[in-house]
Amino acid sequence: FYVGAEINVMLFNEFITNLIYRLYNNQTNDCNNAKKISKPIIYRMLFLQTHNCVMNKKRIALLASGSGTNAENIASYFKNNEYAEVVLILTNVTTAGVIARAQRLDIPCLVMDKMTVSDGRMMLELIQQHNIDLVVLAGYLKLMPAEVVSNFQHRIINIHPALLPLFGGRGMYGHNVHEAVLQAGVAETGITIHYVNNRFDEGEIIFQKSMPVLPDDTAESIALRIHRLEYEHYPPVIEQLAKGLF
C-alpha cells in the first residue's frame, strides 16, 4: 500500500511541478527583475509537503497496571519523535500511579473496567476508536484478549524482566521474577522485548539484553539494574517497530 501511495505522490508532484513552472514563469516573462523558479525547487517543495502526508506518525497506546515509570519514560521519549507519538494510556487499576503520570504528561488516560479488560471486542473497539497503530504493554499484568491480538498481529509488544523463555508465565512479574532468578542460581538475567500472543510471555522475541547476576545481589538490586535496561532499550525498539524495521 505504501509503495503504491508513494508512486502516486511522485506522479502527482511531477504533474503539479510542470503546471506551477509554466504558470509562474509565464507571468514573470514580462518582468525584467523577476527571478524564475526552477523545476527542481518546485518539486522539492512539493515532495517535502506530500512526504509528510504519506509518512504519518504511528499512534501508540500504552497499557500499564502500576506506577507507570516505564510508561512515562516511553511517552517522554516520543514527545517530539519523528516516527511515533503516545496518544493514549490505558490502565485496569483505578489507583494506578500511571494515571497521575498521564495527567502530568497531558496524555489521555482511561481506566478500563473488568468487562472491557476481559471482553476482547470491547477492548478492541476502545483501541480502534483512537486509531491506534501500536499497542505497547508497560507493566500491564493482564492477558491480552484473543480478539485484540488477532487484529494487531505484530503490533503489540511487551517487555519482560528476565531472559525468556526462562522465568516467564503467569504470575512471573516484578520481584517474583527476580526472586526466582536468585533461587535458580543463574549467572545472568536481563530483559526481553517480545510480540504478544495469547499466552503469557510466549510471543516471538524481538530483542534481549543480558546482565550478570552478582554474588551480593538481592531482588531489589537486580530490579534496579533491570529498570535501567528497560528505560534504555524499550523506547528505541518501539521506534524501530514504528519505522517498520521489525
Q: CB-side exposure of 182: number of CA atoms within 13 Å?
A: 15
Strands 188-195 and 58-64: unpaired
- Amino acid in the structure at residue 73: N
Contact 156, 197 (CB under 8 A): no
Contact 132, 88 (CB under 8 A): yes
Which cell goes with 31? 518582468
Which cell goes with 187? 549467572
- d(Cα 166, Cα 164) in Å, to the nearest integer? 4
- Active-site pick, 154, 160, 175, 233: 160
DSSP 13-55: HHHHHHHHHHHHHHHHTT-TTPPP--HHHHHHHHHHHHHHHHS
160 is catalytic: yes
| Active-site amino acid positions | 160
